[in-house]
Amino acid sequence: MERVEHHASFGGWQDVYQHDSISLGCSMRFGVYLPPQVEDVKAPVLYWLSGLTCTEQNFITKASAQRFAAEHGIILVAPDTSPRGEGVADDEAYDLGQGAGFYLNASQAPWSSHFKMYDYVVDELPALIESSFPATDRRSISGHSMGGHGALTIALKNPGRYKSVSAFSPIVAPTQVPWGKKAFTAYLGNDPENWKQYDTVELIKTAQERLPILVDQGGDDEFLAVQLRPNLLKAACDEHGHPLTLNQRPGYDHSYYFIESFIGNHLAHHAEALS
Amino acid sequence: MERVEHHASFGGWQDVYQHDSISLGCSMRFGVYLPPQVEDVKAPVLYWLSGLTCTEQNFITKASAQRFAAEHGIILVAPDTSPRGEGVADDEAYDLGQGAGFYLNASQAPWSSHFKMYDYVVDELPALIESSFPATDRRSISGHSMGGHGALTIALKNPGRYKSVSAFSPIVAPTQVPWGKKAFTAYLGNDPENWKQYDTVELIKTAQERLPILVDQGGDDEFLAVQLRPNLLKAACDEHGHPLTLNQRPGYDHSYYFIESFIGNHLAHHAEALS
């Protein structure tokens, strides 16, 4: 593991590391924010999963979450959104292949040899973080858009593993929307039954742990009606008694200007659960 | 003038406009943040000048100043750093030509036909802002690196025009450092006497208005010793009785991680002067 960036930030350090991932079979980068508190004590960790086209850079340069991580004493870990490199399968479209890992384990060629973001985020990355940094094993998870999908599905599939979960503008029903149908067909094959294991609305039905879900959704998000459809999440949570706080934010779009405006609320939510 | 971006941000709007600049003879973009208060009242304006290689995007996406502008009710205006376009002179180096306007009026060919960033920032842009947006004529100015140089020199050369001035990691003595000597030779010719009109340390000597200067400087800034040399500013202010608050920030570098960490202090400083 090699440190490739190191910046003082809000009394702590915003670093970027590069390492060879076993799950993904390629070199990967992740951002890690170490708050000032880790000089004295270990800190809990919030994992942030980014959206389509993003790398580890988007969240660490644009969300200004470090301000609140420093305040609450939380480590922030922001991985890349897919395996990368010349030997990794890719597609010309922005919503398939590199930059579009969808936080699942692909079963179909040519994707199945590297696209194991689920294993990477759930197991490999936390093990690396907890052995390499002053981190406790108290974890929370959040993300944006495709990364909101990742955060919600990973929390639902791993009861007890995360203290809290939240999302901005998540894809909540990938089996029902164009982004998800396209990616899941490629990564998981033609049988929609195999897609349900990575669909938040489906997972809510059988969730073993009623971990409260916090979602913020911009009202002027250009992907709201076709790709995101938070009403499907609300209906599923209502039907199955799953606790959900769905903050509708009129006027806000899908950008980091939206995330930045409300990231402080999400960090406070996670800080309470992690403390 | 055409609006090319429009994002809800902290209860206000982060917009980007494009217009044909008379001073510069080309199309220019600037960011403008309109805080929520302007729905009811006009607001004062803080101009932000960015550094080498930047466009109007760097500050608006990375500094998270909107949070504090919304709190204090301040409009933020962030212009590009030089004239742009195919018909505009340029140089292969990052520190000359497009992206490196140095906030002066060039007198030398081929630069003199477009490189009039001083006129643009001092006159054209404020006139446009104050006639097109709910802005008062109360102005402050700040910036980073080359833009810190721009903010300090423009405030010193225009007594009474700005209520307050601040800078992050400014080039304070361009006539004495490599970045400045190279650019000023190209833009202003070989006679160093002609350079002094755009040099903060020189302007401090004859300042007609003792407007207090606020500067934050990172201690691990890679440009500190050779290009920035804040000790020269301190010596000039000490000698001439010019009020200066120079905050040395150990560990911080030249990046927006540094700016973001302390931008709240600068916004509070300007808010007090603008109120």
Question: Which of B9, B258, B260 comes nearest A261 by C-beta?
Answer: B9
Mean pLDDT value of segment A89-115? 98
pLDDT digits (tens, 9 = 90+) for A143-177: 999 999 999 999 999 999 999 999 999 999 999 99
Its pTM stands at 0.97
| Strand pairing report for A2-9 and A12-21 | antiparallel
- pLDDT-derived band at A39 (thresholds 50, 70, 90) equals very high
**Other CB atoms within 10 A of residue B39 CB:** 10
B263 token code pair: 């931008």
Q: What is the pLDDT of residue A171?
A: 98
A225 token code pair: 């009606």
- pLDDT-derived band at B51 (thresholds 50, 70, 90) equals very high
The 3-class secondary structure across chain A, one letter per residue, is: CEEEEEEEECCEEEEEEEEEECCCCEEEEEEEEECHHHHCCCEEEEEEECCCCCCCHHHHHHCCCHHHHHHHCCEEEEECCCCCCCCCCCCCCCCCECCECCCCECCCCCHHHCCEHHHHHHHHHHHHHHHHCCEEEEEEEEEECHHHHHHHHHHHHCCCCCCEEEEECCCCCHHHCHHHHHHHHHHHCCCHHHHHHHCHHHHHHCCCCCCCEEEEEECCCCCHHHHHCHHHHHHHHHHHCCCEEEEEECCCCCCHHHHHHHHHHHHHHHHHHHC
pLDDT digits (tens, 9 = 90+) for B102-142: 999 999 999 999 999 999 999 999 999 999 999 999 999 99
Write phi, then psi, for B11 (nearest 5 degrees). Answer: 80, -5
B220 inside 8 A of chain A by CB: yes
A46 token code pair: 């919030």
- Closest residue of chain A to B261, computed from CA coordinates: A10
Q: What is the pLDDT of residue B222?
A: 98
Picking from B5, B77, B73, B6, the residue whose alpha carbon sits closest to that of residue B39 is B73
Mean pLDDT value of segment A85-90? 96
**Other CB atoms within 10 A of residue B238 CB:** 11
Instruction: Decide if B145 is catalytic.
Output: yes
**Other CB atoms within 10 A of residue B163 CB:** 19
Q: How far apart are CA B154 and CA B192, in angstroms?
A: 19
CB contact residues (below 8 A), chain B span 8-37, against chain A:
8-11, 14
B182 token code pair: 């190279």
Tokens 């190209």 belong to residue: B186
CB contact under 8 A, B255 and A62: no
Residues 6+ apart with CB under 8 A from A218: A169, A224, A249, A251, A252, A253, A254, A258, B8
CB contact under 8 A, B261 and A14: no
CA angle B193, B196, B228 (to 5 degrees): 130
CB contact under 8 A, A8 and B256: no
Q: What is the pLDDT of residue A241?
A: 97
Of the residues B145, B164, B166, B169, only one is catalytic, namely B145
CB contact residues (below 8 A), chain B span 152-171, against chain A:
none
Q: How far apart are CA A58 and CA A8, in angstroms?
A: 18
3-state class (DSSP) for residue B224: helix
Question: Which of B11, B64, B252 comes nearest A8 by C-beta?
Answer: B252
- Closest residue of chain A to B251, computed from CA coordinates: A8
Query: What single letter denotes the amino acid at residue B41?
Result: V
B4 token code pair: 């090319």
Chain B positions in Cβ-Cβ contact with residue A5 (cut-off 8 Å): none
- pLDDT-derived band at B147 (thresholds 50, 70, 90) equals very high
pLDDT digits (tens, 9 = 90+) for A185-232: 999 999 999 999 999 999 999 999 999 999 999 999 999 999 999 999
In whole angstroms, how far apart are CA B107 and each of A168, A231, B84, B112, B202? 51, 61, 18, 5, 20
- Closest residue of chain A to B66, computed from CA coordinates: A261
Q: What is the pLDDT of residue B135?
A: 98
- pLDDT-derived band at B84 (thresholds 50, 70, 90) equals very high
- Closest residue of chain B to A68, computed from CA coordinates: B261
Q: What is the pLDDT of residue B159?
A: 97
H or E segment at B151?
helix B146-157
Give me chain A's average pLDDT, please.
98
Hey, which residues of A are catalytic here?
A: 145, 221, 254
Residues 6+ apart with CB under 8 A from A231: none
Question: Which residues are B206's β-sheet partners?
Answer: none
Picking from A186, A142, A191, the residue whose alpha carbon sits closest to that of residue A168 is A142
Tell how far CA A69 is from the center of its chain: 17
Question: Which of A11, A64, A218 comes nearest B64 by C-beta?
Answer: A64
Mean pLDDT value of segment A66-78? 98
Q: What is the pLDDT of residue A253?
A: 98
Chain B positions in Cβ-Cβ contact with residue A255 (cut-off 8 Å): 7
Q: What is the pLDDT of residue A239?
A: 98
Q: Are B68 and B158 in contact (CB under 8 A)?
A: no
- pLDDT-derived band at B242 (thresholds 50, 70, 90) equals very high
Q: Nearest CA to CA, how far is B118 from chain A (Å)?
A: 29
- pLDDT-derived band at B6 (thresholds 50, 70, 90) equals very high
- pLDDT-derived band at A135 (thresholds 50, 70, 90) equals very high
A125 token code pair: 């990355």
Of the residues B254, B266, B269, B270, only one is catalytic, namely B254
Question: Which residues are A179's β-sheet partners?
Answer: none
Please compute, for residue B28, the number of CA atoms within 13 A of its CA located in the half-sphere on the CB side. Answer: 28
Mean pLDDT value of segment B243-247? 98
Chain B positions in Cβ-Cβ contact with residue A62 (cut-off 8 Å): 61-62
